[in-house]
Structure formats: C-alpha cells, structure tokens
Amino acid sequence: MRFLALVLFLTPAAYAASDFVGPVSCRTCHAQAFEIWSKSPHAHATDSLTPEQRKSPMCVSCHSRDEQRSSPVAGVSCETCHGAGRSYQPANVMRDKELARLFGLTEAATTCVACHGAGSPSPQPFDVKAALGRIDHWSKDRVAPRSELRKRLEGPRHLIAAWLAGASR
C-alpha cells in the first residue's frame, strides 16, 4: 500500500513543469540552512552585475544559473549547487543519503568548479575546501539540535512523509 502511495506521489504530473523547485521549497525542511544561505553572497550574486552584465549569458550562467533554467531566481540557489530538487525533494528520499543521490542530489564540491574553476573569469585562485568552509550552512556546528528540528517538522506534510517512509508515531 505504501509503495502505491509513493508511486502516486511521484507521478509524471509532478514533473510537468521544471525540475527546479526553488529555494523556498528547500526552506520547508532546511530552515536554518536557508537562513544562512539567504544572507550569503551566493544568494545575492546578481547584485554585483551591471545591467549590461545581467543580459550577458556568460555572466548570468554563474551569477544566476537557476534563473536560466527555471522561474526567476536571483542569485545562486540551493539547486545550483545540489542539483534540481524535484526528484530528491520528498522527505522520505532526503532521509536516505544514497537514495537522495540516486534521485539527483549532488555534492556541492563537485559543482563549484563550474563557476570557480579554471577558465572562469575570476582572477582569484580557487580552493574548494576553503570555499566550502566559507559557505558552511549544514555542518554539525550549524545544525539545530534534533529536538528543535523535530518541533519544526511536526506538520501534516511531514506526517505524510513519515508514513510513506514507514515510520510510526
């Protein structure tokens, strides 16, 4: 029965639009990470562009990558680094790291070089490890205690996801 519910939950109609769900959708479960990201230079990457640069595909390809592929997103969002979230977004998928990867979740370190690697217009050398430290928004030091997260997740949507995953109350 749960398998049938999962199949219905992941029907092709869910994929009718874009595979990008937007950072507000990620905020539902990752409120603290969203808050940190929203204050970061990545979230406001388009602010550094002139009006002419905003029209340049070369500039926009890094400063607002998702904007090109989906609805307008100003800046570099969750899905720029972690991949389009439509398939891995359900909570029951996100609870299983390997399943989330199979459904398209990518490691941020592998996507950084698309804009910061060799051949980018940035004159500064790029160190992935140092950069990930500067944009840390989900390490153990940043994550709220489990009890605080549980309080935030006690909504109907999460109860359904828990049911689909086989959790009992």
pLDDT per residue as tens digits for the range 82-136: 988 999 999 899 889 899 999 999 988 778 888 887 777 777 788 888 888 888 8
Judge whether 30 and 85 are in contact, CB under 8 Å.
no
Question: Residue 108 class from Cβ within 10 Å (0-12 exposed, 13-18 middle, 19+ buried)?
Answer: middle
Instruction: Please state the pTM of the whole predicted model.
Output: 0.65
Query: Residue 169 — very low, low, confident or very high, per pLDDT cuts 50/70/90?
Result: very low
